[in-house]
Amino acid sequence: MRRKLAAGNWKMNGTAADLAELEAMKAAAATKQTDVLIGTPATLISRAVATAGDAIAIGGQDCHTNASGAHTGDISASMLADAGASHVITGHSERRVDHGETDAIVAAKSEAGYANDLTAVICIGESLEEREAGQTLDVIGTQLAGSTPAAATGANTVIAYEPVWAIGTGKVPTLEQIAEVHDFMRSQLVERFGEDGNAFRLLYGGSVKPSNANEIFAVSNVDGALVGGASLKASDFNAIITALDEA
When computed from its CA atoms, the radius of gyration of the chain, rounded to whole angstroms, is 17
Query: The domain containing residue 126 runs over which residues?
Result: 5-246
Q: For residue 244, what pLDDT band results from cuts at 50, 70 and 90?
A: very high
Instruction: Check if the beta carbon of residue 39 is closer than 8 Å to that of residue 10.
Output: yes
162 flagged as catalytic: yes
The helix/strand/coil state of 220 is: coil
Question: Which of the following is catalytic: 64, 87, 92, 182?
Answer: 92
Measured CA to CA, the distance from residue 12 to residue 185 in angstroms comes to: 29
What mean pLDDT is reported for the chain? 97
Measured CA to CA, the distance from residue 190 to residue 133 in angstroms comes to: 27
- In the prediction, which pLDDT does 200 show? 98
Residue 76 belongs to a domain with what CATH number?
A: 3.20.20.70
Cα 64–chain centre separation: 17
Measured CA to CA, the distance from residue 236 to residue 24 in angstroms comes to: 11
pLDDT one-digit tens code per residue, 111-139: 999 999 999 999 999 999 999 999 999 99
- In the prediction, which pLDDT does 1 show? 82
Average pLDDT over residues 73-100: 98
Question: Which of the following is catalytic: 94, 101, 126, 162?
Answer: 162
If you write DSSP's letter for every residue of 119-172 in order, what string do you get?
Answer: EEEEEE---HHHHHTT-HHHHHHHHHHHHS-TT--TTTEEEEE--GGGTTTS--
What is the model's pTM? 0.97
182 flagged as catalytic: no
pLDDT one-digit tens code per residue, 43-53: 999 999 999 99
Which amino acid, 79? Answer: M
Q: For residue 196, what pLDDT band results from cuts at 50, 70 and 90?
A: very high
Measured CA to CA, the distance from residue 245 to residue 219 in angstroms comes to: 14
pLDDT one-digit tens code per residue, 13-30: 999 999 999 999 999 999
Q: For residue 57, what pLDDT band results from cuts at 50, 70 and 90?
A: very high
Domain count, the chain: 1
pLDDT one-digit tens code per residue, 144-193: 999 999 999 999 999 999 999 998 888 889 999 999 999 999 999 999 99
pLDDT one-digit tens code per residue, 95-105: 999 999 999 99
- In the prediction, which pLDDT does 15 show? 98
Measured CA to CA, the distance from residue 208 to residue 231 in angstroms comes to: 10
Measured CA to CA, the distance from residue 245 to residue 236 in angstroms comes to: 15
Measured CA to CA, the distance from residue 228 to residue 247 in angstroms comes to: 20
Average pLDDT over residues 237-244: 97
